[in-house]
Each structure stands twice: as C-alpha cells, then as structure tokens.
Structure 1
Amino acid sequence: MSTLAIIGAGPRGTGLLERIAANAAELLPPDRPLEIHLVDPYPPGAGRIWRHDQSPLLRMNSMAEDVTMFTDASSTIEGPVRPGPSLAEWAARAEEFAPYQPVADPAVRAELRSLAPTDFPTRRAQSAYLDWVFRRAVAELPPHVTVTVHRDTAQSVGGPPDGAQLVQLSDGVLIADQVVLTLGHLGSSPDPGQRELAGFAARHGRFHLPPAFSSDADLSGVAPGEHLILRGFGLAFVDLLAMLTEGRGGRFVPAPDGLAYLPSGREPVIHVGSRRGVPYHSKTGYRLQGPPAPLPRYFDAAAVDRVLARPGPLELRRDFWPLMAKEIGFGHYHELFHAHRERVRLPWTDFLDRYDRLDWYAPELTALVEQAVPDPADRLDFEALDHPLTGLRLTPDGLQQHLRDHIRTDADRRADPAHSADLGAFLALLSLFGQLPRIMAADRLTARSAATELDGWWSGFFNFLASGPPGFRLRQLLALSEAGIVRFLGADLRVAPDERTGTFVATSPTTPGHPVHATALIEGYLPKHVLSRTENPVLRTLALGGELLEEAGLLTVSLPDGRLLDPTLDNTPHPRRTALGPHTNGRAYTAFARPRTNAPGFRQNDAAARSLLTELALTTGARGTATPTSEKVIRT
C-alpha cells in the first residue's frame, strides 16, 4: 500500500486526479494499492475560488464553450488522452454524463438548462461543472485506488527525502509517500506600502481594502455615498463594481442607447484609475468568420530552439517578443484577409510571402501592412493598444467623455463580427502559451526579464488584451458612468495618504492639477503571491526551514513534472514533494482551458501524474492516517 497526499482539491488538484486516473492502468499494477488523500477546507473540485458559496453576480470571463477540464486531440502528452465535455456541452446534456447527480441549487439548475455556448456563466455554474469533473475523476480510478477527502487546512509538511512525509492537519497527521501542493491562487501578507496605507486608514477611521479575492472581500465598511478610490481596472475591478452597485440593490434597465442604471441610494461614488487608465478589452461575442489560422507559424518549437541556442542570457522582449508579436500578427491578418477580403489590397499569398521574410520591427513590414491594409483600424498596433491614454491631457469632465467613447467603441467592436480579426489575434495570443513553458524550463531568461517582463509586462499585456470581461460588463460600466456612480481618474494613477485632511488623494497626469480626495481606498486587483510573505502555512513552514527556492516570488520547481527544488539537497528535485499551479515558476496559471489549445496546465498535470505513479508503484511504506472525524471516504 502506498499513499499520496494532494494538498489543494480545487481545479488543479482535480486535474491532477483526472490524469492519475488516466495513467493508472499503465503505471500502477493492480497489486500496488494506492490511497489518495485530498486536503482542502473548501469543496473538492471547485475549491476556494470557484466554490458555490459566492455571489451570483460574479461571472466567468470565458464563454461556456471555451471552458474544459479535459485533454483532447491537440494535447501533446505522454499519457492517454481522455476527452470530456466542455462546460457548455456538459450543461446541455448533464444527465448523459456519468456520474450524474442533479445540481442542488435551483437557480444554478435553471442557468445550466438555458446556458448557450457563447454565454458567460456565473462562477456558481462553473462550480457545478467542477464538482462533476471531480466525481468523474474519482469514478474512473481503478478499484485498487481509493480517495479520502479531508475538509481541513494542512499546516505543515515534514519528513526526510528518503522517508515518509508527515502532513500536519488540525486534528491529526497524514503519513504519505508522496506529497503534491496544488494550492491554487494564494495571497500574501501586505507589503510595506500596503501596511502604510492600512495604518493611515486605522488612524483616521477610513476604509482600506488591500488586494483580495473578490468572493472573499468584505465591502460592508464602504458607506453609501462615500467617495471611494478603486485602484485597478481589470477583472477584480469588474467583480467589485458589481458588488458595490447591483449587489447593493441597484438595477440596470434597457434604454434607447443601451443601458441605464437605477441607483438604490446605497452605492458609493467610485473613482477608478490604473496604470493604463482604461478597462481591459472585453471578450469577443462572435466566432471566426474565416478558416482558423494554422498556428503556430513563427513561434514554434524550432523557432524557440534557435533562440535558446544563442549564447549568453536571454530576455523576453528582446529575444522572444519579435517572434511572439509576428505570430499574433499572423493570426490577425489571416482572419482579415480570409474573412474580409474587401478591406485588403493584396492577395493573401502575396502578403504572406513577404510577411514571412520580414522581421517584426523591420520598416519594410510596416510598409507592407500599410500597402495591403488601407484602414488603420484594421492594422495591429501593439503600442496604441498597450498605452491608449499616452500623451493625453484632459479636464476631469473631458476625461469622462473620452473614456465613455473609448469603452463604447471597444464594446461595439468586440460585438461586431466585421472586426473578427481581433479574434484571430486573440487565438494566436493563446497559442503562444504552447512554447512559453519550454522557455521557462530552459531557465535562460535573466532574473530581471523573468520578473519585470514575463511576470510583469507580458502577464499584464496578455490579461489586458485577452482576459477581459464579457461585453455586457462594459455596457454596464457606461451606464454607471452616465449615472454619476463611476468617475474615471486617468492613467499612471498615484494614490497617497494625506495626513492633514485624513483622506486618500489620487492624481494622474491625464488630468493634471485635479487631485481627487476620498475617504475609502480599494486595491482592485488580485493578490500577488510572494513566497517570502506567503499566507499559506505549508509554504511558510517549508520556507522558514530553508527547504524551498524562490524565483521572482514563486516557488521553484523542476519542469515539467513540478518536483520541488530543495536547497538542502543541493538545489536538486525533492524525490517526494511536487508543486503545481500559479504559485510556482511553472506559470501554467489556468487549471482549466479552452478546448483544442494543447493547454500547458494539462501537460504539466500529465507529466506530474506519470512521475508520481512511477514512484508510487515502487513504494510500499507509508499509510495515511488521520482522526475519523476529519475525513470523508469516497470508494470507487
């Protein structure tokens, strides 16, 4: 009998369990029984972020047809491909997929029955899907594998590298041969800047919310009519805005030019700004109008190998971004030329022949695009996309109108299939993640590039272009602006405490000379995990013991199998400890993915599952134990 402890039973832990089930027949003989112990205080499958117990106002930023937990024909994995339904397919025919169990919440049942493939589901609908995925993974395990779920928080992991691992729970100890940390998105204790703001708020009786997960945020301290600075314009902002408006009784109603907002009187006045000063681009509401581009073309394995063969340290923007940008451009122009031929002046074959031969930054490429694509609105301009307010100097009222026009234009464009080249660029952008894990595994990026370019600029740029909200959220933002509930602050936002007035003061070069004073401040972005300030007790204990390595605040693991690199073992992989997820330098952030995209997270899960099963098949030592009250046993 061998034992595996998986700490974290959310989507990443569930995805690993699915891969264990898929690979067990090959790698775990029937005479090698295995006990799997899953440890998580939140429901298995959904975990903390996707648990059912959250506001029905909170939605996914992906369409139902673009969410899957299963490998498919695109997956380049060593283990067997086990296809399964997307969220949309499961919702349409849930009773056909074993093990079927009716969804308990009648509101979620009703949503699933009416869910269209292109709808943006609530997070509670995703919770139901993940619950089913978990139960299917358990059901597909062979008879000699059992699963025990512990609704508990692991406090520490100890034990020698050549012996049993001890997982401390609140009411007992698990003894395991292998331990996997699938901890999901983690928070960190406040940095010095956040501590300063929190201290200021406490001294003056003001409200301050540091970076937090939306479903956990307590907004009750924000008073009706209070002036609030909300710093951040991404997905956390969208969630917080919904809870501070609709969540307080306001309503959106149809209006001749779109939507109007009817306040409840309980809303604060929300002043919002960020580095860019504009919200994330909304998701497209249509499908490709032409044939899919054959991706990748320029940023494939061979191209990455050629860059990696260069001597010396590498940088993302200097060495890889020209290939990445050209790939995105290929997706954009492939769709434009194939679906909207009346808007181009050259045959596609002529354009592509010249495009192939030119570097991304070559003046000749700029000239080619100008010759072939007469309308600048049809050309791909990364600088204009990334810095939409650069150089603008406006009055506060002028900024409100400018931002409304910007948001309306973006929402209209992302709903109009005439601009489907945007979707072509989006799909090419997603394809880049096929090679990024290889770059990270090669460990050739400088520390500065990994921190400021990969985790900084690239992550922010990708989220801004590709991880925005559904289009209806931007139209709601317009209505809130027109109702005076939301006021825009501009780009390069700075917020400072003012001891004299006891207020937070926001300034932006977009509206010079017009500071905004507020008595509440919310940091409208998700917590960034930093290992030295981690809130997770297991990682904190291991770090204090000098048993972890850190890379740009992330846990350093071997790729692709996720073995923890241990300083006490000369920085080599620990034979009994693995970590997968966004808290690691594996950086496969999403535990679920768009179908047919060869998702890096699925590839990591498969590699880790095969490594674990290979080791566990050779192990007969440990046996998991805990007090009976802390566990729920699921037998297959």
Structure 2
Amino acid sequence: MSEEVLDVAIVGTGPRGISVFERIAANLTAEPEPRSVRIWLIDAVELGAGRIWRTDQETCFLMNTVVGEISMFSGVSDGEPCRPGAGLSFQQWLHAQPDPALAGLGHDDYAPRYAYGRYLRYVYDSVVRGMSGLGEVVEVVGKVTSLREEGNSYELRVSTADDDLTVTTDAVVITTGHAQAELSKHQCELARFAQGRAELRYLSGDSAADLDIPSIAPRTAVGVVGLGLSFYDILMSFTVGRGGKFKESIDGAMFYVPSGNEPWIVAGSRSGLPIRSRGRNQKGVTDRAAPKFLTSAAIGRLRERSLQHRGSPALDFDHDVLPLLQAEINYVYYTTQARAQHGPERAEAVAAELRTLGPGLARWREVAVRYALHDVEPVDLDQLSRPLHAKRFNSGASLVAEVRRILRADIAEARQGNVDSPLKAALDAIRDSREVLRHAVDFGGLTPRSQRADFLDRFGSRTSSLFTGPPLERTAQFLALIDARVLDIVGPDAVHGCDAEQDRFFLESPAVEGSRRYCDVLIDSRIPIPGLVRNTDPLMRQLVAERMAVGFVHGDAEEVFHTGALHITPAERRVISADDRPHRAIYALGIPTEGVCWFTQIGNGRPGVLTSYSRDADVIALSVLRRAKSNAF
C-alpha cells in the first residue's frame, strides 16, 4: 500500500450507498497493490439500512419483490465467507435466520420490509469486514448539511446528535434516497386548516413507517389519498398492526376479523382502484425473456433515423418507443394465449409468425384469427390502468360492486402466475423491458415534450400501477376490509379538501352520486420525488443555492422541461455545477437523479445477474479509484 490515503465519503447508506461501497471494496480487493482508502459512511437514520429500510418498522409492511430475485452482493456466494464481490443472496440469508417466519420464506414469497433492512445491515457489515487490510472505515450517524470545495478537497458539514463535525474528503458519493418535499400550495391549505382545529390532523409526504399513525385513535374517521404501495402499508398498520386478523373461510374466501382498534378508513385516487397485484411468480432469476422488438439495436436505429429526419437523436416516445414496447407486451400476450388454448406447439408457431411480421400490431390480428385465438384483442394499457374512467355510478354500492368485479378478476389472473396468465405475463414484459427503456429515455433520450407529457405524465403515471404492485394477498385483503366495513372507497378522479361548514376534511368522486365522505384525519399516501425545487434536504438546498449543483433542464426549440433531477454526466455520474462544469469527484446515484435516469427507486440487484443496478455502482467505484490513481482529482 502507498502511504497516501484516499478519503471517500458516501452520503446515504441505504441500498444505493451500500452498492457503491461494496464495489469500491471489491475493486480494491482485485488490485495487486491497492491504494490505502478511508471511507466515510454517513447516514442520518440507520447505517447500513437508511431510512426507508430501517430495521424497526412494523412487521406487517411487505416488500413488492419476491425474495428469490434479490441480492445486494455483486457476485454470487462461492461457499467462502461473504465478502465484497461475493455473498449470500437475500433468500440464502433468510434461510439461515433463527426466526422460522423468515427462514421458511421461499423463492416466490414476499418478505417483510424490516427483514430486508436486516439483510442490508448484514451486507454492509460484511463489506466493512472486507475492508480490513485495505483501509479504514469511519461510520457517522448524522445529516450532511453542506458540501463545499476547499482547494483540492471537499468539506462536508455533518450535524450529529452530539455535535457538528467537518469531514474532509477527496471524493463524495451522494446516494441519499427519498427526501421529504415541501408541501404544495394545496397541501399547505390542508395543513393550515388542521392547525386551526384541534380535532383534525393532516399527514403527508412520507413513508408509512415515518408517519405518526399509531397515535390516531380507534374509530377515528381517516381519509387516505392515493391507492399505491404506501397506501397498503398504511392500511396494514391500521388493521393487522392493531391486532386485526385476516382468515379464510371453508370455501377459501378471505375475511377480516376486527380487533376494535381500527379507525374508519375511506380512500380515493385518480383511477379509483388500488395498484394491481403482481402475478404469482413462476420465473427463475434468469428467466426474463430477451426483448424481441424493443432492443438496444432498435433504439440505435431509431436515433439514426431521428437524426436524419429531425436533426436530433432524441426520440418521440409515443411514435418511436411505445409501438415497440406494445409489440413486446402483445407478443407475450398472444403466444401465452396460444399456449393456454392450444398447447406449446401452436404457441411456437404463433411466435414465429409474429417475429416475421415485425412490431406492426395491425397485422397481428390476422394471425390470431388464423390460429383460432378466440376473443384475443391487443392489450389496452390505458383501459387496464383506468377501467373506471368515464363510468358513472348512481350509488356507492354500485361502485363497490364494479370494483369487486375488477379486483376479483385481477386476483384470478394473478393466481395463474406471471408465466401462465396471458395478461400478467404480458404486463411482466414491461418489467423485462426496463433495461432497454432506460436506454431509450435516460439522459434526454426523448424530446422534452415527449419525456414530460408522453412518458412521465401518461405512460409512467398510469402503467406503473399495472406491473409494480403488491402480492395478490394484498388485493384480497383490500376486498375483505371493504366487506368488514373497515374500508370504504369514493371512486375515480377523487378530490379532497376542506369543508369549513363541517369543520372537517372530505373526499369525494364526481363519478359517484352521494360519494362525499368526511374525515378528521387526512393522510396523503403519495410519496413524490421532490426534485431540487421542493427538496427539504439541507444538502440539496445548499448545493443549488451555491451553484455547486443544478437541475437537469431538457430543452429544444419546442419546449423546455425542468426535470428537477441532479444534472450528472452519463459516463461517470459526476455532478455538474451551474456553470456546466462536472465536478472532479462529486457523484450522485439513485433518487436524486430521478428525471435524468428512470426508475431509480429499485433498491436491489439480482443474484448472478449483472443489471444496471450493479453496473451503475461499479461505474462510480471505478471512476473514484482510477481518478485517484492518476491524480485526476
């Protein structure tokens, strides 16, 4: 080792921070003469788990990825002790736990969130041990409040429970994850309304684990805005978390036995429906289908064509990318329908014809007719995501009947699985295509207008509810809580606000007669990406105020789109300052870059599979070490 020490600070030690830490250590281990390194690991909540995955969460909060698809080590276990670059997957770690409830979880089960936090701690501790002999690890529990250049170094101010301290480093990696956002104008009005009335409360902008749910008294009327994954955490905290029990009747139907400690819950959202169930997993870790139409090569050809015709390689999502994605979805749908109706040989014949025809769906209908695929129409993502849109209901009972019909059908499809159900298999094709979608949309890959309007506002906001959902048991529990009259729903295009005459909050749907419901506690379960404008994190505020960082602004002659994401370089993920200069060694990864990169919420790699999750961490790790070796700092 050389005597000179390289100081690296990793700010935020949730999954993204751990992934960079692990890759730095793995790359150091692989070097014949590794440089001596001091790594500062800084987290405001819990080292090795962060805030979202902290280990003291309620046991009823579940992950939405099956345990067999998760690993935080960049390489598989080789039978030797876990170390940087090789270690136990989440499933392998679970099987070694003394708690039977965890050890008994199978490949296709869903683990509690706190268990994943414990696994993250295990990986983190393994990497810390692996750093022995390579350098020093300094752990700091505190919030970074500022980051400034001082000569050839960076100085971070960190506020801890005991004192403020200054950390001087050669490189900084920002992996801070979800930050709270400033309240919007409407949210401020709701908060002020509650402040003036002692019996009312307004909660928003945070995960269920960080909301003050336990203090809400039984029988309180509670309104919940949003029916996504966070909604289910809130729902479980109010029910199972308070002693309620879900049971099955003789005929297998789920029902709920209240504890008496539940509040009365009413909920609403734009779609009027909860996020749909993921299909029962039938795939192994490496069973994701290779795209047939939406490929990196196809994206490259589209960029060449766009450059020739439009003078820019930026793509139009609806015109260029979506047709290829729809072909991927419907290729799986048609071939799975053929297998279900006529067997595997017919499915292969259909697949061969569709590949020959190419991605134009207009000609695929002829194939369906010729091969006797009865009642097979192309998958309509808009209709699937908003089946209640444009419908009107004369009562809450008629709404509930329609919601029950839709969700029971969804449960039936989910039970078939993500291979055997034509619909769930087709929707899973979106997950299988995410890597190529990133290739198409990241770093200004779309035109500004198309990124904002087509991809984020329409496709992203609607279709995420179709393929990122919870296990099917959550949907069954949703219906059981409606039957038990613990939960009520207001309908689609739900609106919420303050009623000064009633001195209460309300939720209602314009599509349902008599849907207005009053409540004393209003919870907004939606967790926004705060971006740089509404971000309450003092570090992000300071970086922007002092022009050390700037938001990525995507613009052309037609539109300028302020993404709110940290502007970073594509190659190394280095943060770019307001004068368009990449910093020597300030890097960012994950949630702070959402808007430059897509779907950064993913918090894990996959065992034995090199995904963009591990590659992104490795890019930063190699950049830090190579720049240090060449004195490029």
Which bin holds the TM-score, normalised by the shorter protein? 0.7 to 0.9
- Uncovered stretches (5+) of structure 1, i.e. residues with no partner: 74-79, 95-102, 622-636
Assess, with a 3 A threshold, how the Cα gap between structure 1 residues 81 and 304 changes in structure 2: closer, same or farther.
farther
Residue in 1 that maps onto 2:302? 307
**Aligned with residue 181 of structure 2, among 175, 182, 188:** 188
Q: Secondary structure at the match of 2:143?
A: coil
The residue type paired with residue 265 of structure 1 is G
Instruction: Return the alpha-carbon distance in structure 2 between the equivalents of residues 467 and 354 of structure 1.
Output: 27
Q: CA deviation at 1:220?
A: 4.2
Q: Is the 8 A contact 2:385 2:463 kept in 1?
A: no
1:158 aligns to 2:169 (yes or no): no
Offset at 1:347?
Answer: 5.3
Alignment partner of 1:203 is 2:196 = yes
* Aligned CA distance change for structure 1 residues 217 and 294 (closer, same or farther; 3 Å): closer
Asked if the contact 2:331–2:354 (Cα under 8 Å) also holds between the matched residues in 1, the reply is no
* One-letter amino acid of the counterpart of residue 155, structure 2: L
| Equivalent position SS for 1:167 | strand
In 2 relative to 1, CA 573–64 (structure 1 residues): closer, same or farther, beyond 3 Å? same
Q: 1:594 to 1:380 in 2, by over 3 A?
A: farther
Cα distance in structure 1, aligned partners of 2:28 and 2:423: 42
Match of 2:414 in 1: 414
Whether contact under 8 Å (2:225, 2:268) holds in the other structure is yes
Structure 1 equivalent of residue 582 of structure 2: 573
**Counterpart residue number, 1:167:** 156
Identify which of 604, 619, 629 aligns with 1:607: 619
Aligned partner of residue 224 in structure 2, secondary structure: strand
- Asked if residue 323 in structure 1 is aligned to residue 318 in structure 2, the reply is no
After superposition, the Cα gap between the structure-2 partners of 1:113 and 1:344, relative to the gap in structure 1 and judged at 3 Å, is: closer
Q: Which amino acid aligns with 2:570?
A: L
- Kept after mapping to 2: 8 A contact 1:496/1:506: yes
RMSD over aligned Cα, in angstroms? 2.8
**Distance change >3 Å, CA 373–CA 215, structure 1 → 2:** farther
Alignment-derived partner of residue 353 in structure 2: 353
Cα gap change, 1:211/1:370 in structure 2, threshold over 3 Å: closer, same or farther? Answer: farther
Q: Match of 1:481, SS?
A: helix
Q: Confirm or deny: 8 A CA contact 1:564 1:578 kept in the other structure.
A: yes
Indicate the structure whose relative CO is greater, using CA pairs within 8 Å and at least 6 residues apart: 1
Query: In the alignment, which residue of structure 2 is the partner of 1:100?
Result: none
Once the two structures are overlaid, the 10-residue window that deviates more, 504-513 or 493-502, is: 504-513
Which has the larger displacement, 198-207 or 457-466?
457-466
Equivalent residue in structure 2 for 1:249, among 236, 243, 250 = 243
What is the alpha-carbon distance in structure 1 between the residues aligned to residue 84 and residue 58 of structure 2?
35
Structure 2 unmatched ranges of 5 or more:
77-82, 553-562
Task: Work out the CA distance in 1 between the residues paired with 2:62 and 2:193.
Answer: 33
Percent identical: 27
The whole-number CA distance in structure 2 between the counterparts of 1:115 and 1:218 is: 30
Q: C-alpha offsets along residues 328-361 of structure 1, whole Å, 9 cap, x if unaligned?
A: 2233344444x5252799553345324542444x
Instruction: Please report the TM-score for the alignment, with normalisation by the length of structure 2.
Output: 0.87
Contact 1:186–1:527 (Cα < 8 Å) also in 2 = no
Matched, 1:8 2:20: no
SS at match of 1:60: coil
The residue aligned with 1:212 is 206
Q: Residue deviations 1:592-621, cap 9 Å, x none?
A: 034466422211111111111111224499
**Structure 2 counterparts to residues 37-116 of structure 1, below 5 A:** 37-71=40-74, 82=85, 84-92=87-95, 94=96, 109-116=99-106
Give the secondary structure class of the aligned counterpart of 1:180: strand
CA shift in 2, pair 1:504/1:419, >3 Å: farther
What CA deviation, in whole Å up to 9, does each residue of 1:299-347 have, x standing for no partner?
A: 111111112221344332232111122122233344444x525279955
Q: Is residue 130 from structure 1 mapped to residue 125 from structure 2 by the alignment?
A: no
Shift of 1:513: 4.9
Alignment deviations for residues 398-438 of structure 1 (CA, whole Å, 9 cap, x no partner): 11122122222212221124843345334421232212333
Partner of 1:132: helix, strand, or coil?
helix
The amino acid of 1:211's aligned partner reads: G
Is 1:118 aligned with 2:129? no
Give, in whole Å, the separation in 2 of the partners of 1:330 and 1:60: 29
1:261 aligns with 256
Of residues 118-127 and 345-354 in structure 1, the stretch that sits farther from structure 2 once superposed is: 345-354
Map of 2:591 onto structure 1:
582
Q: Is it true that 1:296 corresponds to 2:296 in the alignment? A: no
* TM-score normalised over the length of structure 1: 0.87
Q: What are the Cα deviations for residues 341-382 of structure 1, in whole angstroms up to 9, with x where unaligned?
A: 52799553345324542444x432344445546344786332
CA distance in 1, matches of 2:617, 2:258: 47
